[in-house]
Amino acid sequence: MKNVLRFLVAGVLLITAFKVFGQEAQAPVYKDRECWLFRSVSKNFMGSVSGVSALPVDGDHKICFLKGQFFEVDGDAKSQISTASTWNSIFYMKENRQLKFPLIVGQKWNEEFETRVRGTNRLEQRKSETQVLGIEHIMTTAGAYPTFKLQRDSWCLAGLCDKWVYFYSPETKSVVKFNYEALKGSSATREVELIKFWPVQ
């Protein structure tokens, strides 16, 4: 009986999600003073990239859209976020490997690119495949959201090296959950989750 009830609830949520935004999401339009609070947690990261392309350090990060730019806000201090950072995978700051709009269920794209091997200055050729797997209802600390579930797999010379799974919400105009897992030469993981969203009406 419990399984039947869970199935019915999941079905209702999925139907609601389809009614909210169908199977396609357009690129977001951000409003001045919209803010998001994210929590980042990593395990077994060694030699993480520093600088503008660094992954978010562990802890809470308040991000605000101010005068057409994204800033990390800490009290009165503000620092502009580079489009080369991982935040560009969570917000749509410019065209990137993770978010290509419109997002359409069943969509898939492949890319070849060069990246720095974590913990070194050595560059390596990579290939990636990103898929929009479907619509999934996600619970976060900030609330429950119907989202587009995407998965990106990255191959290096040693085979499948990394996997990203992320959930984009048209309601928050952001990824609300972001999971990274290293699959070769490391057991590093990282999760970024939306804790709070301050929309502007």
Write out pLDDT tens, residues 150-201. Answer: 999 998 887 888 999 999 999 999 999 999 998 887 888 999 999 999 999 8
Q: How far, CA to CA in Å, does 37 sit from each of 52, 53, 61, 116? A: 19, 19, 6, 28
Contacts with 173 (C-beta within 8 Å, 6 or more apart), sequence order: 28, 29, 30, 34, 91, 92
Q: pLDDT tens digits, residue range 18-35?
A: 444 578 999 999 999 999
Cα 130 to chain center, whole Å? 12
Q: Kindly give, in sequence order, each residue whose CB lies less than 8 Å from that of residue 123, ignoring residues fewer than 6 positions away.
A: 114, 115, 116, 117
- What is the model's pTM? 0.82
Whole-angstrom CA distances from 181 to 29, 112, 166 are 30, 20, 12
Provide mean pLDDT across the span 120-142. Answer: 90
Domain with 133, as residue range(s), is 2-198
Token pair of 191, please?
């999760």
Q: How many CB atoms lie within 10 A of CB 139?
A: 10
Round to whole Å and give the CA distance between 115 and 123: 5
- Average pLDDT on 66-92 reads 93
Say how far residue 31 (Cα) sits from the centre of its chain.
19
Q: How many residues does the chain have?
A: 201
4 with 124: CB under 8 angstroms? no
**Single-letter amino acid code for the residue at 96:** N
Report which DSSP code applies to 87.
G
Q: pLDDT (tens digit, 9 = 90+) per residue, 37-70?
A: 999 999 987 654 445 455 678 999 999 999 999 9
The count of structural domains within the chain is 1
Across the chain, mean pLDDT equals: 84
